[in-house]
């Protein structure tokens, strides 16, 4: 701090600590909730298992013990996958809304979900893959190719990458991919039979191997996301102002998009196209900590898994045959979104 | 004063004159471009429609078609044109107008390029209604359309209830709409995964959007709905133009911004519901029509007429491809629904427009 620096406006000096305080408090509360929810996810399901047995299954498992097997082979993988995919989707959503300056942007907007879906269709119809684990690399590849097309096409033309162009090209790629998917599904009944279950999104029947294979990508994506808060704060003021503040807008935007591709590509390949988490979570985070993207991204990483895992647990409890997490997320998340939107005083259209 | 001192010869070219002349040329050029664009769109739409009437198992020449249309032909050509081919073409035109207008209205009043009926829940509500009717109630035809209209309208009303708080802001409406859209998508996903795969395929076909089911009663119903709605669009268009200046400016000019916004949104919902009930949520038409029309004009205007025309060209053109070009290319016998082609043609076209365009006015 130079002595020549102008005195800070009083309002800002009051506000900063308050955001930090609220943010830190929220992080602590959310972490505690996540731990509780993760444990609940290990306990509850088609067969309820007592807390002591869950603990025993984790620290000193008995081979052949039926409950221990359920916990270790079924509930631990889906809980971990829920945590990782939720964090990835939440962070990706915050990044997308920041980089496109559009509050209705979700991680699927770059065409990632539809690219992944198309690749899964190819896997089912072309290569006769039927296990969910087998879809992982197809989905990841499809998401990556779609993002490449979207970013490439949006960066051509007169002004380079603008938020509007990103959004429109993303929608265009989604529409094209959806058309191709529909043709296949309408002609090939067997593919539809498999694909409709992948399409709704679920945490069940995934192995830990699938998780470990995409984990490095998620880790890199999350680190970039945490570092991107400053860039997003600058971008929120508009490209010109951001440039004036010394930000390299093009590079910043490219880096953020790369992180979205890593995060959302991993999440889609793990749990299917559940974009809604990425849409609603940043709004909740914004309602808690205000407009600072450094905090929004961080909180989104915690609220995302909370929502996804809660949806999965609820889906196991409400009906006998289990409801997929991707279906429940909308029923849990939409009322939250509506309440937030209704409560917000923002008048800006 | 100083102007009086300038010799006459030089007074002709004062800066003000130059500016005025420049403005006049710009205005003329802009008007010429608007006229040329509109005319081109009309000609293309007419050409596509006539081509669609010519092709089929009983090929007709363009003269045959025109003679049959104006009533100079009483032979088989008249039956082929009027009973078999015209309903489908007219349905395509009406659906194109409705989706094109609905998209343009939503996108301008909500100030969001992504805000089209397929994004803010109207299409998804209609889909949930129709798929529910198909899979749960087991009905077909007319009642599916009724259920679709009811579903879309219910979403529209719900969004009003949620986002109206002494007025309507675009931001609240769009976000609530997306939330509701995801709920409806989940309902559809649930129904699709819990039903017989053959029925699921039928539901998927409806959700793709098709004009193959066209007959005169259906076309007449949609035509009556549009005859009521389009004049209302013309009425609110001026208010919408003012609204784009911002709430305060438009209020200063005597407009009630919140009421205007609510009216425009209601019209958009009604148009989208009507078209979806008739043909299913034909993908992408509502989203792409206005951005394409505005880019073709390039003057930042509302471009409502041109958006409707782009919608018409897209739907009828896509149906032409779906009906006559694709079946020849596909390995198996399969009647392609138009909704597949609108996305497959519209998507790449929009990408090309974005990549090659020089100005961004959307």
Of B165, B346, B362, the CB nearest to A175: B346
**Interface touch A326/B189, C-beta < 8 Å:** yes
d(CA B3, CA B6) in angstroms, rounded, equals 5
- Torsion, Cα A309 A231 A139 A208, to 10 degrees, reads -40
Q: Which of residues 77-106 of A touch B (CB under 8 A)?
A: 102-105
C-alpha neighbours within 13 Å on the C-beta side of residue A117: 28
Residue A251 in any domain: the answer is: yes
For B138-184, what is each residue's pLDDT tens digit?
A: 887 788 889 999 999 999 999 888 877 766 677 778 888 888 988 99
Residue B317, pLDDT above cutoff 90: yes
CATH at residue A326: 1.10.3470.10
Q: Which residues of B touch A334 (CB under 8 A)?
A: 179-180, 182-183
What residue in A sits closest to B198 (Cα-Cα)? A189
Torsion, Cα B68 B73 B79 B84, to 10 degrees, reads -10
Per-residue model confidence (pLDDT) at position B223: 94
Query: B201 vs A276: CB contact, 8 Å cut-off?
Result: no
Q: To probe the interface with A, which of B110, B116, B180, B183 has the most A CB atoms within 10 Å?
A: B183
Q: Are B268 and B232 in contact (CB under 8 A)?
A: no
> Is the CB of B283 inside 8 Å of chain A's CB atoms?
yes
Q: Is residue A233 part of a domain?
A: yes
Q: Is A145 on the interface with B (CB under 8 A)?
A: no
Residue A124 lies in a domain: yes
**Model confidence pLDDT, tens digit, residues B71-87:** 887 778 888 888 888 99
Quick check: B284 contacting A, CB < 8 Å? yes
Across the strands, what pairs with B168?
B164
Residue A88 lies in a domain: yes
Q: What is the phi/psi pair of residue B358, to 5°?
A: -105, -25
- Taking CB atoms and an 8 Å cutoff, what residues of chain A touch B283? 175, 178-179
Q: Of how many residues is chain B composed?
A: 362
Checking if the pLDDT of B10 tops 60, the result is no
Contacts with A, B 217-256, CB within 8 Å = 247
Query: Domain span at residue A247?
Result: 36-42+49-56+66-340
| pLDDT tens sequence across B335-356 | 788 888 888 888 888 888 777 7
Q: Say if A17 falls within a structural domain.
A: no
pTM of the entire predicted model: 0.82
Q: Which two tokens stand for residue A184?
A: 């296949």
Interchain pair A169, B180: CB under 8 A: no
CB-CB contact of B279 with B219 (8 Å): no
Angle between helices B285-297 and B86-109 (to 10 degrees): 70
Tell me the average confidence (pLDDT) per consecutive run of 10 residues in chain A, 349 residues long: 43 61 89 92 84 84 76 88 94 90 77 88 85 82 89 78 79 87 87 86 86 91 92 84 82 88 89 87 90 91 94 88 88 86 56
B221-B227-B230 Cα angle (round to 5): 130
| B341 min Cα distance to partner chain A (Å) | 7
Question: Nearest CA of chain B to the CA of A50: how many Å?
Answer: 31
Q: What pLDDT is recorded for position B148?
A: 92
Which three-class secondary structure string do you get for chain B? CHHHHCCHHHHCCCHHHHHHHHHHHHHHHHHHHHHHHHHHHHHHHHHHHHHHHHCCCCCCCHHHHHHHHHCCCCCHHHHHHHHHHHHHHHHHHHHHHHHHHHHHHHHHHCCCCCCCCCCCCHHHHHHHHHHHHHHHHCCCCHHHHHHHHHHHHHHHHHHHHHHECCCECHHHHHHHHHHHHHHHHHHHHHHHHCCCHHHHHHHHHHHHCCCCCCCHHHHHHHHHHHHHHHHHHHHHHHHHHHHCCCHHHHHHCCCCHHHHHHHHHHHHHHHHHHHHHHHCCCCCHHHHHHHHHHHHHCCCCCCHHHHHHHHHHHHHHHHHHHHHHHHHHCCCCCCCCHHHHHHHHHHHHHHHHHHHCCCCCC
| Nearest CA distance, B325 vs chain A (angstrom) | 15
Tell me, yes or no, whether A14 lies in a domain: no
Q: Count how many Cα atoms sit within 13 Å of the Cα of residue A324 in the half-sphere of its side chain.
A: 24
Question: Chain A contact for B344, CB < 8 A?
Answer: yes
pLDDT at position A28 is: 92
Whether CATH 1.10.3470.10 fits B2-356: yes
Residues of B in contact with A97 (CB under 8 A): none
Which one of A158, A276, A349 has the shortest CB-CB distance to B170?
Answer: A349
Residue of A193, A326, A337 lying closest to B179 (CB–CB): A337
Question: Contact at 8 Å (CB) between A117 and A194?
Answer: no
Residues B13-47 have pLDDT tens digits of 788 888 888 888 888 888 888 899 999 999 999 99
| Nearest-CB residue to A334 (from B113, B179, B189) | B179
Residue A20 lies in a domain: no
Which of A164, A279, A349 minimises the CB distance to B110? A349
Q: Residues of A with CB below 8 A from B131's CB?
A: none
Residues 6 or more apart in contact with residue A310 via CB below 8 angstroms: A37, A332
Structural domains in chain A (count): 1
Q: Does A244 contact chain B (CB < 8 Å)?
A: no
Q: With an 8 Å Cβ cutoff, is B130 touching chain A? A: no
Mean pLDDT of chain B: 85
Query: Who has greater pLDDT, A21 or B307?
Result: B307
Say if residue A22 is exposed, middle or buried (CB neighbours under 10 Å; 0-12, 13-18, 19+): middle
CB pair distance less than 8 Å for A192 and B113: no
Long-range contacts formed by B232-239: CB under 8 A, 24+ apart: B232/B267, B233/B101, B233/B105, B233/B267, B233/B271, B233/B304, B236/B260, B236/B263, B236/B264, B236/B267, B237/B302, B237/B304, B239/B263, B239/B264
Is-contact B273 B156, C-beta < 8 A?
Answer: yes
Contact between chains at A171 and B178 (C-beta distance less than 8 A): no
Instruction: For B183-196, write each residue's pLDDT tens digit.
Output: 998 999 999 888 88
Q: What angle do CA B309, B312, B315 make, to 5 degrees?
A: 150
Q: Could you count the other beta carbons within 10 Å of the beta carbon of residue A76?
A: 18
Mean pLDDT of B105-121: 83
Residue A175 is nearest to which of B190, B337, B347, comparing CB atoms?
B347
The predicted structure's pLDDT at residue A12: 47
Question: Searching chain A, which residue's CA lies closest to the CA of residue B292?
Answer: A168
Structural domain includes residue A4: no
User: CB pairs below 8 Å between A and B: how many?
Assistant: 193
Q: Cβ A344–B341 below 8 Å, yes or no?
A: no
**Cβ–Cβ contact A320 with B under 8 A:** no
How far CA A203 is from CA of A54, A136, B182, in Å, comes to 19, 13, 18
Residue B195 touches partner A, C-beta closer than 8 Å: no
> Which phi and psi angles does B164 have, rounded to 5°?
-85, 115
Using N-to-C axis directions, what is the helix angle for B170-193 and B142-163, rounded to 10°?
Answer: 140
**Cross-chain CB nearest to B178 (options A197, A279, A326):** A279
Which pLDDT belongs to residue B7?
53
Selecting from A103, A154, A334 the residue whose C-beta is nearest the C-beta of B180 gives A334
């Amino acid at each position: 701090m130079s002595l020549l620096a102008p005195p800070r406006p009083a309002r800002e000096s009051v506000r900063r600590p308050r955001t930090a305080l609220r943010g830190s408090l929220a992080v602590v509360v959310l972490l505690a909730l996540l731990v509780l929810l993760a444990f609940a996810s290990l306990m509850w399901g088609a067969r309820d298992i007592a807390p002591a047995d869950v603990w025993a299954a984790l620290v000193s498992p008995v081979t052949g013990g039926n409950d221990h097997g359920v916990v270790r082979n079924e509930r631990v993988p889906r809980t971990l996958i829920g945590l990782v995919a939720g964090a990835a989707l939440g962070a990706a959503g915050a990044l997308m809304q920041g980089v496109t300056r559009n509050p209705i942007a979700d991680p699927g907007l770059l065409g990632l979900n539809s690219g992944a879906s198309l690749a899964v269709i190819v896997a089912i119809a072309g290569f006769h893959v039927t296990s969910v684990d087998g879809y992982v690399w197809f989905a990841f590849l499809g998401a990556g190719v779609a993002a490449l097309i979207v970013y490439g096409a949006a960066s051509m033309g007169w002004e380079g990458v603008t938020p509007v162009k990103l959004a429109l090209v993303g929608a265009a790629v989604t529409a094209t991919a959806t058309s191709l998917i529909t043709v296949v599904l309408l002609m090939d009944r067997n593919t539809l039979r498999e694909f409709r279950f992948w399409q709704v999104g679920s945490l069940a029947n995934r192995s830990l191997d699938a998780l470990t294979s995409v984990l490095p990508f998620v880790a890199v994506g999350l680190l970039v996301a945490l570092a991107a808060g400053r860039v997003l704060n600058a971008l929120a003021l508009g490209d010109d102002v951001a440039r004036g503040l010394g930000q390299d807008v093009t590079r910043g935007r490219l880096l953020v998009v790369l992180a979205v591709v890593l995060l959302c590509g991993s999440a889609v390949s793990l749990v299917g196209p559940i974009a809604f988490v990425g849409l609603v979570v940043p709004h909740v985070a914004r309602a808690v900590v205000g407009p600072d993207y450094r905090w929004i991204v961080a909180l989104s990483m915690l609220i995302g898994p909370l929502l996804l895992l809660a949806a999965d647990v609820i889906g196991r409890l409400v009906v006998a045959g289990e409801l997929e997490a991707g279906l429940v997320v909308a029923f849990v998340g939409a009322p939250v979104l509506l309440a937030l939107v209704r409560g917000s005083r923002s008048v800006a259209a | 004063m100083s102007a009086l001192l300038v010799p006459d010869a030089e007074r002709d070219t004062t800066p003000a004159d130059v500016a005025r002349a420049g403005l006049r040329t710009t205005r003329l050029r802009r008007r010429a471009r608007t006229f040329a664009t509109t005319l081109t769109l009309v000609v293309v739409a007419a050409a596509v429609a006539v081509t669609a009437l010519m092709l089929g198992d009983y090929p007709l020449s363009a003269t045959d078609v025109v003679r049959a249309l104006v009533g100079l032909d009483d032979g088989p050509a008249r039956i082929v044109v009027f009973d078999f081919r015209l309903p489908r073409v007219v349905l395509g035109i009406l659906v194109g107008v409705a989706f094109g207008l609905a998209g343009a209205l939503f996108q301008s009043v909500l100030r969001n390029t992504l805000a089209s009926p397929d994004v803010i829940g109207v299409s998804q509500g209609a889909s949930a209604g129709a798929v529910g009717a198909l899979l749960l109630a087991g009905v077909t035809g007319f009642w599916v359309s009724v259920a679709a209209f009811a579903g879309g309208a219910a979403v529209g009303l719900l969004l009003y209830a949620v986002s109206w708080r002494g007025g309507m802001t675009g931001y609240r409406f769009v976000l609530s709409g997306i939330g509701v859209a995801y709920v409806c998508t989940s309902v559809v996903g649930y129904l699709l995964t819990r039903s017989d795969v053959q029925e699921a395929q039928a539901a998927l076909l409806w959700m793709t959007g098709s004009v193959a089911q066209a007959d005169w009663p259906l076309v007449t119903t949609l035509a009556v709905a549009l005859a009521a709605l389009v004049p209302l669009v013309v009425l609110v268009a001026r208010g919408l133009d003012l609204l784009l200046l911002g709430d305060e400016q438009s209020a200063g000019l005597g407009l009630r911004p919140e009421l205007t916004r609510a009216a425009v949104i209601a019209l958009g919902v009604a148009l989208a519901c009507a078209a979806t009930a008739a043909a299913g949520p034909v993908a992408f038409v509502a989203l792409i029509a206005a951005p394409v029309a505005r880019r073709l004009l390039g003057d930042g205007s509302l471009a409502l007429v041109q958006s409707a025309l782009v919608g018409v060209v897209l739907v009828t053109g896509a149906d032409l491809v779906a009906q006559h070009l694709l079946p020849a290319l596909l390995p198996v016998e399969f009647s392609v629904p138009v909704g597949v082609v609108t996305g497959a043609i519209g998507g790449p076209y929009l990408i090309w427009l974005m990549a090659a365009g020089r100005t961004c006015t959307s």
